[in-house]
């Protein structure tokens, strides 16, 4: 597939994906969602790639939302389709991805942009970042999982207020709310986020995949997270990484994980 709306750069075991529609503040149109889905599918089976960083191009925006111009004349069924397809192709896929995905929020993360950052496994932000779910100003509600993930991350009362007022919060407040894990200067954001990602890639990727699955189990209907954890924990014992990790500990050396 020829990517027109996203850029991909690889650095050691990291893949850095940049949403690249700066003229529209990286708004997510249908094509961008399809390209992201395609690239993520490719990277999931790429043995070299151990972690992914998602960011936006330019200095102004991570993603300023779904592309308003694309859905402004939609009816109910088209609107439902938009949300359902987007959630399936991108937002749920990101949340349940087997490799870590970190959102590096480099500016505005609004509507679908914040929803994408929230679907990622965790978030870093630049000090100029502003985040919000302004959908009610358009006569809409969040449709890419925002009504579910925002209260999960910051609590119901804060989410209610953010969604009802449509107001943006700045990076420090997002840090205070636990919406992002770290705030750094914009010029340092990618380097800083890469350092965290590199630390992750030193660990067992099979174990990390199972940790993501277990943690997410708490947020999925009909699944008991404690049971999922026991299942995933048990499965770890069947992996080469488990043998390598425990042997390295006993032999007092650094483990070299193969991700198998
Ligand atoms: C389409 C967008 C856009 C968007 C910005 N642009 N956001 N185009 N969809 N979400 C475009 C503008 O139209 C403009 O293009 C260019 O990007 C620059 O934006 P400006 O508004 O001129 O910049 P500025 O004055 O600095 O304001 C920045 C901003 C504002 C505060 C971020 O652009 C803004 O409020 N954007 C919309 C944010 C929003 O409502 N997001 C939620 C969308 S709904 P032109 O060509 O005019 O110069 C959503 C639903 C998700 O996300 C669920 C779906 C199922």
Q: What is the pLDDT of residues 231-255, one digit of tens each?
A: 999 999 999 999 999 999 999 999 9
∠ CA 196-201-203 to the nearest 5 degrees?
Answer: 110
Mean per-residue pLDDT, 53-82:
98
The catalytic residues are 115, 135
Supply 27's token pair. 């708004």
Spatial neighbors of 30 by CB under 8 A, at least 6 apart, are: 67, 70
Residue owning the nearest CA to atom 53 of ligand 1: 143
Strand-pairing partners, residue 126, are 184
Tell me the Ramachandran region of residue 30: left when phi exceeds 0, alpha when psi lies from -120 to 50, beta otherwise: alpha
Please state, rounded to an integer, the average pLDDT across all residues of the chain. Answer: 97
The pLDDT assigned to 193 comes to 98
To the question of pTM greater than 0.95 for the whole model, the response is yes
Distance of CA 181 from the midpoint of ligand 1 (Å): 25
Enumerate the domain spans of the chain.
6-201, 204-251
Instruction: Label residue 220 by pLDDT band (50, 70, 90).
Output: confident
Mark 222-247 as b/e (b = at least 16 C-beta within 10 Å).
Answer: eeeeeebbeebeeeeeebebbebbee
∠ CA 68-70-76 to the nearest 5 degrees?
Answer: 90
Q: What ipTM describes this predicted complex?
A: 0.99
Q: Length of the chain, please?
A: 260
Distance of CA 105 from the midpoint of ligand 1 (Å): 16
Task: From residue 178, give the alpha-carbon distance in Å to each of 49, 124, 184.
Answer: 28, 11, 15
CATH architecture, domain defined by 6-201: Alpha-Beta Complex (3.90)
Residue owning the nearest CA to atom 43 of ligand 1: 65
pLDDT in tens, 79-119: 999 999 999 999 999 999 999 999 999 999 999 999 999 99
Report whether pLDDT(221) > 90. no
Report whether pLDDT(69) > 90. yes
Residue with tokens 């007022």: 165
């Amino acid at each position: 597939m020829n990517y027109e709306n996203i850029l991909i750069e690889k650095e050691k075991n990291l893949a850095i994906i940049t949403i690249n529609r700066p003229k529209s503040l990286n708004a997510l149109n249908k094509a961008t969602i399809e390209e992201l889905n395609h690239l993520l599918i490719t990277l999931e089976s790429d043995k070299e790639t151990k972690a992914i960083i998602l960011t936006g191009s330019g200095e102004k925006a991570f993603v300023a939302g779904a592309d308003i111009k694309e859905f402004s004349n939609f009816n109910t069924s088209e609107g439902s389709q938009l949300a359902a397809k987007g959630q399936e192709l991108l937002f749920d896929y990101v949340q349940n991805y087997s490799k870590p995905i970190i959102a590096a929020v480099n500016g505005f993360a609004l509507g679908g942009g914040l929803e994408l950052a929230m679907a990622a496994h965790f978030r870093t932000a630049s000090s100029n970042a502003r985040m919000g779910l302004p959908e009610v100003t358009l006569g809409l509600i969040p449709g890419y999982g925002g009504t579910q993930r925002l209260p999960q991350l910051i609590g119901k009362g804060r989410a209610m207020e953010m969604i009802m007022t449509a107001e943006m919060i700045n990076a420090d407040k997002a840090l205070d709310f636990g919406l992002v894990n770290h705030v750094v200067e914009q010029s340092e954001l990618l380097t800083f986020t890469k350092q965290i990602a590199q630390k992750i890639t030193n660990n067992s990727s099979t174990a990390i995949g199972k940790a993501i699955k277990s943690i997410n189990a708490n947020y999925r209907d009909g699944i008991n997270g404690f049971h999922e954890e026991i299942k995933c924990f048990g499965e770890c014992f069947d992996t080469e990484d488990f043998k390598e990790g425990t042997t390295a500990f006993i032999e007092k050396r650094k483990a070299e994980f193969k991700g198998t």
